[in-house]
Each structure stands twice: as C-alpha cells, then as structure tokens.
A and B are shown apart, each in its own frame.
Chain A
C-alpha cells in the first residue's frame, strides 16, 4: 500500500482552493461510482511506462480521451480511445450541450494521467472554475487544480499506486 496523500507541496499557487489528496482505493471508488467517467491520457504516458496502466484502466470499461500523440500507444489494444486535443476537450467540457466523444453525453468525472503538470494544471483550472465536472488527477505530481489528486510521488510509488487503483476497480 502506497500512501499517495503525504507530499502535496506545490511549486506555485493558482488560488485558495487546492485538490484533496486521495489514496488509490478512494480514487478507485470514485471511478467505479461515476456514471460517465472519462480518462484523459496525455502524451507523457508514452515515455514513462504509463501506457500499460492506461490500457488496464481502459479495459475496465473507462472511455479514453487520447491527447497529444498518446494514441500511438493505445491503438490496437482494444480500448475505447479517441484522439482529441486537450485544449479542445476543456472547451467542449465547458459546453453543457456537448454530447461527448461517443455522442452519449458529457461526463461526470474526468481522470487525468500522463500529462505535463504545468499544462494539465491549466486545463484543470478551466474545469475547476467554469464547470461542475469532478476531476481526479492520478499523475505523479500533486495537481492543485484538480478536485482530487495524488500527492507528489516517486516513480516506483506512482506505479504501485496505479496498480492498487486498477485492482480495486
């Protein structure tokens, strides 16, 4: 068991509201209980060994938004993944009339993995301030603008935390 809530140091601040640090088990429950979860996989997943974790999450039935060029790692793995630019995704998520990547409606929980922290924190800032969608960051960095986030983790602890999350889905 990895404690993913210990180190929530931030290098800069966006405001007074900060993500609630979560344990892998809690994150798994959040995903399991969501009606329309969306997993957003960034291109950093390609070089950091996170693609197998993304595929494992996808195989649990979570729809995937593949941002950057992460699609390269997801194609041919029998997961429901579609490419979308992450800034476009943030825009569409702010639109109540958007029907989602599959035309079935928008999402109630958006999960982020494999992103540059400064970039995804901006995306999360938009979602935090202009939508009611819940966001969960399961990256290696504490992401202040998510509703819930893992803390800052060493790579091996991060991998173990993801395994724990996946096994509890």
Chain B
C-alpha cells in the first residue's frame, strides 16, 4: 500500500490540477511512533475528550455563581429575568447562563492569545520559512503545553501551524455552544470553559516560542537584561514615540529602522502593556541593553496620553483603550494602527508613500492612519515622531491644568459624590478635592496609584471638572519619581533547571511556586504586588512574574534603592524572582509544572493530559495569583491553570468573572484519592482548597498562598516548612493562629520546629490528640499518615493493574 504524506502533488496527464494534503488521520500517532515517542490516550482532545477529568475536578471544586447580571439578552425571546435561578424563555437557568457567560470570557481570552499567535506565526513564517527551527534555549522539551495537549512535538515554525489549526478549530466548536438552544448543563459549560483554558495555554505557547525563536529574545536566560520602567523615566525633551498593545511583530520594524538610521538616542521609544515587555526582549538574547523603555500597564494608558508627552502613538492589539484616537486627537498626537483587530475607522494607507502619510498626519489633515505594511510602518513612525515633536512644541500643546487652574478646579467641587459612586474602586475623590482646594495635594498623590485611569469620573461631574487630569496634575511629583527596573522576560524554565529544582518542589522543601500574573485592576494600588512578592521571596518561594504584574513589580524599591529584580537572582531556584515575559509567556508557567512531571517524574506527557494534570495537582505546590485580573485573557489563563490542577487566586474585582471553583473542607468524602500502589483510598489535606477564588486583601492573600501550596506528596521536611509559613503568615497578617492548621499534621515532624512544643499542647488540649511527652511524639490523632512512597491519584486507571 502506498504511504501518503502531506504536501502538494500534481497528477500526470492532468494539467492545472494540484492536490494538497494537509492532514492525515492518525498522522500524529504515526510520527510519534517513528520518533519513538509514546502517545498518551488524548492527543488533540475534542470538546468531550477530557470531560471525565473535568467532572472529577468539578465534583470537588463545585462552581459558585455570583452573577454580574441576573438577566439574559442573548436572543429575541428575551430579555429574560433569570433572578432566583429561574429559567428564561429558551429554558436556560441562571446557573447555566452564568457558566455560559464564563465560557464566553474564557474563549474570548483564548482567541485573543491564539489569534495573536496565528498572526505572529504567519508573519514569521513569511520571513524565515516553515523550516526555521524552534529554539527556546537549552531544552529538549520546548513546547510542553503543545506536546501535552496535541501530542505534537514541534521542531519548526511550520510544525506550529498544525497546532494553531487545532486550537482554532476547537475554539470555534466552543463558540458554537454559546448559541441559544445549545448546552443546558452548567457543569458541561464548565467543562467546556476548562477546555478553552487549556487551549489558551497552547495558543500562548505557540506565540511565545515562535517569537523567541525568531526575534532574538532571551532564551531561558536568568541573566536577561534589566529595562527601565515607569512614567518618570520618560525623557519628553526628545520626540516621544509610544507603542501600545501586545503584538510586537510590527514594532520590530520600527526598532530596526531606528537602529539603521541612528535614531536610538534621538527618539524616546517607549511602550505600554505587553508590547512594551516584548520590545525589551527584542534582540536582547546577547544580554545587550533593551532599546525601549516600559511605561507600564493599561492603567497608565490614559495618564500617559493625557500627559501630552507622546508625539506619535502606534497601537497593535489587545488591551488598547478604544478611545486612544479620540484622546490623542485632542492633543494633536497622530495615531497609527497596525493590526486588523484595531483600525479605529482610519484610512488604510498601506499602499501610500511614507512622505504622503507623514505630510497628512503632521499637518492634521488626518488624525491617524492604518498601516499594515510593516516596512512602511518602520519608516513612518520614527520619522513622524521627529517631525511632530517641534510642531507640537511650537503649538504649546498641553493637557494638564496649571497650578492656578488646579486650585480653581478643585474649589469648584460641590461634594455631590457622583465621581465616587461611579469610581470602580470607590476612591475618596471628594476628600482629596477639599484638601487640594486648601493647598494639600497629598490625598491626590495617594489616589494616583490607586486610580486605574478609567476616566469614568470625568463625564459624571456636574461641574465639568476633568477629574483624571486633576489627579494626574496633583500627582506630578510622584509621577516624576516613578522610575524602576524590570528584568526583560527570560522565556521558559529550561530542562536543566527543572532537573535541579524539581525534587525540592515535589517534596515540598521549596515551599512553592507563586505565579503573579495578569492585569492592573488592583483593589488597593500597585504596591501590594511588591509587598506580597517580597514576603514570599524572603520565605524562599519561587516567585514567577509575567505581563502587567511583572511591570508593576518593578516600580518599587527597597530602602537601599533596589527593585526586587535587582535584589533577587532569576534562576528557577527557591527564593528566586523570575520574569517569564509578556502575556503569552504565561504558558511557560504551566509549562514548568508539566516539565516537572516529565523530567523529574519521567512521566510521558505526549497527548497525556489527565495523568499529568493529576500529577501536578497532587504533587506540585504552585499557586497562581492574578491580583489585578481584569481581562478575558486573564480568565482564560487562570482556567487553563485550573484544568492542570493549579489553583488561582484573583483580587476582589475578580468576583466579577461571575464564578469561582471552591471546595468544601468540611465534606471529608471530597478529600480522598487513590494510592496508585494498591488502589486503596487515602485521605488528603484540603489543599488546594479551591481552583479559583478571590481574596479580599493582600493580608488575606498571603496565608492563602502558603496554605494552598501544601500537597499530599510533601515529605515531613516539606510539610514542616509549608506549615510554618502558613502559621506565621496567618499570625502576621490576620492576627491569629489559623483554625485548621492541625488538619495538615500527620506526624510531629510536620510541626514547625520553633513552635513544636506549643503546638503539641494545643493538639492535646484542644483536639484530644494523644502525645508522648517524653519523646515529644504524637501517639494518636492525625487522620492522615505520612508515607512519602504513596502515589496519590484521582484517576483510577492509573492505579497498578488489577488493584483498582
């Protein structure tokens, strides 16, 4: 039988006929077999492919719904009031509607990342060809999410096309279920959401490994260079070229043009959001200094524009405010859109000459231009910035009020409270107005960092006070001092690093990985991130950063003037601080957990999702923290972590994602697994206690992190270390000994060394445990045994044959 391969074929005797074979049924398995790779049971799972695993997760971590809206307005039967969990006209109830809404958030986020990946991949294949090798650093396992989910072991850019195609097809299937009259079960919507989250990590991984391989970004480099960050580091005496978004493809052309034309010192080149991070990664794999500065997260977008400092704004995609063009127009700042996802109604100038475009924009004939040709973009943006700066200077363009105007504006406030009512964080704006009218601007300085610059306050003021501008003007001194350092994203954790640290993670002697990811919608300003990261680093946790959180962390310095990036090393070791990179680099965090299973535990990961997720959930003490999560992408990232058994804590604004997955520690039956050695049921500690939840304050957050790094596989040293941190953080930040600490004790050696005697007394007196005081040993009481050889699993089929 003839063996058919993929490719393009012509048929003899038939002119103008070409057959293209893209995919062959069973090709993944055949290729894996040829390469000696064992494929697990679920390569490229469909929507129901991992449903059994999802149902296991959802039986312990049941959804709790907190609707943002009690109504459904999806079809013309409605609007339907589903309040009180009523059914709407189509038959859907409120719980199912909430899970449908959550699914929609997740696949929207996954689509944003994956479409970003598709765009990048298409672009990079155009430049480098399909055969360009994937090179992400000193690893053999360089696409762990991809390999785990799809069974594909990609070697080249071309191999990634099949991966993206799978993600796209699955996302389309999931999107179709949002339609009226499709799914009716909340739990099945949840399973679909988990599927979407998993796909998100594959899409992100494709994006990042493609750009790392082609754009000279650091490759698993713990010595990736430090970049300048903060509004205060911008030198506005030079022409300022500002980039906003997430997709660095077009921006690299601007950087190359500036380099070629010797403009690096003549133009202040800065970025907002994840494009900024990737600008600092571009061509720094030789550890050269980044050529761009980072301003910060989305919360700085409106503030930066209204500072009037930018002379040109270039936007690409994701987390770019829809009002950028309107705001920029007011300040005569031309806007260039570069990606089909954001075009702002601007004329497509991709086929015009650079001179024509520059003339039209600098004269004000057009407020901006859509330029999809990156060569043209590379030339236009810097040249336009050079031209605009003197024009704008000559016009004396400013946006913020003068000192005198500030006093007048704040005195006009009538204390109606309208601004505070609409403020997402309920900031005390009225008090700050009163104080400022009397010459005290310190309250506004305080508000600056707490304000996410959404601008909702401006239009509701009955006195037309431009409140956001007032905050920014009053906080000028603070803004000028906003100068920090951020380590450029280093990409993946390498295989050798996993080999070195994996055992400590699984045994618990490294107390855990705290992954601080996501956006800037914090409940109490950016400094909480610093406080939490610093505390956990001092306690030897591995702290991993990405995206906006990675940026905001770099804004604070200790008493010696050092940021945490300067203070802590960046290897994958206990007490190290790692920035993996931009939003799409989040895939390396889940990738790290997968690598531990593959490299340390020698598990087969290829197309073997359930077994690996089960391993991660029971053995790897990792907690995700998305303290300022605002976006659909953050929902997708968190949900992808959840399907792998990694718990995630979001800040209080995260309650608006509408649903959490929270366990019930008081239901003892929920906290049992099988011991794969003999198939017997074994009790486990209620940790992770949740898969997704919120915390109210950073003080509450810290002991939650410590507790939820506890895993059944901890050895006694590991459990002692983790329990020590849980108890100490509870005492330090909540002011009490946590009520449930004793539930994690299996033997006296699990007890914190310094408190052992005190805690033994409590165990005896308050919990009725028997203690041998001579030997200081626990005789009876614990519900769990310490058995480091135990093989905890939630999956019956993974028990030794014949015992389950």
Contact = CB atoms under 8 A, between A and B. Distances in A.
Interface of A: 9, 11, 13-17, 42-43, 67-69, 71-72, 75, 82-83, 85-88, 90-92, 94-95, 98-99, 116-119, 122-123, 125-126, 128-130, 141, 152
A129 B417 contact: no
Contact of A9 (B69, B421, B734): B421
A43 B95 CA distance: 29
Given A16-B81, A83-B739, A87-B64, A92 B664 contact: yes
A69 B693 contact: no
Contacts of A128: 70, 83-84
A126 B70 contact: no
B149 to A, nearest CB: 29
A141 B417 CA distance: 12
B67 A14 contact: yes
Contacts of A83: 734, 736, 738-739
B673 interface: no
A90 B736 CA distance: 22
A85 B704 contact: yes
Contacts of A13: 69
Contact of B735 (A72, A90, A98, A141): A72
A141 B422 CA distance: 12
A69 B734 contact: yes
B65 interface: yes
B747 interface: no
B655 interface: yes
22 contacts: A14-B69, A15-B81, A16-B83, A43-B700, A69-B699, A75-B735, A75-B736, A87-B693, A87-B694, A91-B64, A91-B660, A92-B664, A95-B664, A116-B696, A118-B424, A118-B652, A118-B656, A119-B652, A123-B66, A129-B67, A130-B65, A152-B417
A129 B736 contact: no
Interface string B62-90: 10111111110000000001111100000
Interface string B423-445: 01110000000000000000000
A68 B662 CA distance: 17
Interface in B90-137: 94-95
B696 A125 contact: no
B83 A15 contact: yes
Interface in B37-76: 62, 64-71
B69 A15 contact: yes
Contacts of A43: 696-697, 699-700
Contacts of A94: 64
Contact of B71 (A16, A88, A91): A16
Contact of B664 (A9, A11, A91): A91
Nearest 10 interchain pairs by C-beta = A15-B70, A68-B696, A69-B699, A122-B655, A119-B652, A126-B66, A122-B66, A72-B735, A91-B64, A68-B697
B354 interface: no
A148 B425 CA distance: 23
Contact of B68 (A11, A75, A125): A125
A119 B650 CA distance: 12
B656 A129 contact: no
Contacts of A14: 67-70
A92 to B, nearest CB: 7
Interface in B384-441: 417, 421-422, 424-426
Interface in B480-536: 523
Contacts of A125: 66-68, 70
A91 B659 CA distance: 10
Contacts, number: 135
B519 to A, nearest CB: 16
A118 B70 contact: no
Contact of A90 (B64, B85, B652): B64
Nearest to A73: B735
B666 interface: yes
Given A68-B696, A69-B735, A129-B83, 9 more contacts: A11-B421, A43-B696, A69-B733, A71-B735, A85-B704, A90-B66, A91-B664, A116-B425, A130-B85
A85 B686 CA distance: 15
A88 B700 CA distance: 13
A133 B664 CA distance: 19
B450 interface: no
Candidate in A9, A42, A99, A118 with the most chain B CB atoms within 10 angstroms: A118
A17 B82 CA distance: 11
A8 to B, nearest CB: 12
Contact of B655 (A71, A87, A129): A87
Contacts of A87: 64, 655, 660, 662, 693-694
A125 B94 CA distance: 11
Interface string B597-618: 0000000000000000000000
B695 interface: yes
Contacts of A11: 421-422
B653 interface: yes
Contacts of B739: 82-83
A149 to B, nearest CB: 15
A82 B2 CA distance: 73
Contacts of B64: 87, 90-91, 94, 126
B71 A69 contact: no
A129 B85 contact: yes
B81 A68 contact: no
A86 B690 CA distance: 13
A75 B731 CA distance: 11
B694 A119 contact: yes
Contacts of A117: 426
Contact of A129 (B65, B424, B697): B65
Contacts of B94: 129-130
Contacts of B664: 91-92, 95, 98
Contacts of A69: 696-697, 699-700, 733-735
A74 to B, nearest CB: 9
Nearest to A98: B666
B83 A17 contact: yes
B666 to A, nearest CB: 7
A71 B421 CA distance: 28
A152 B424 contact: no
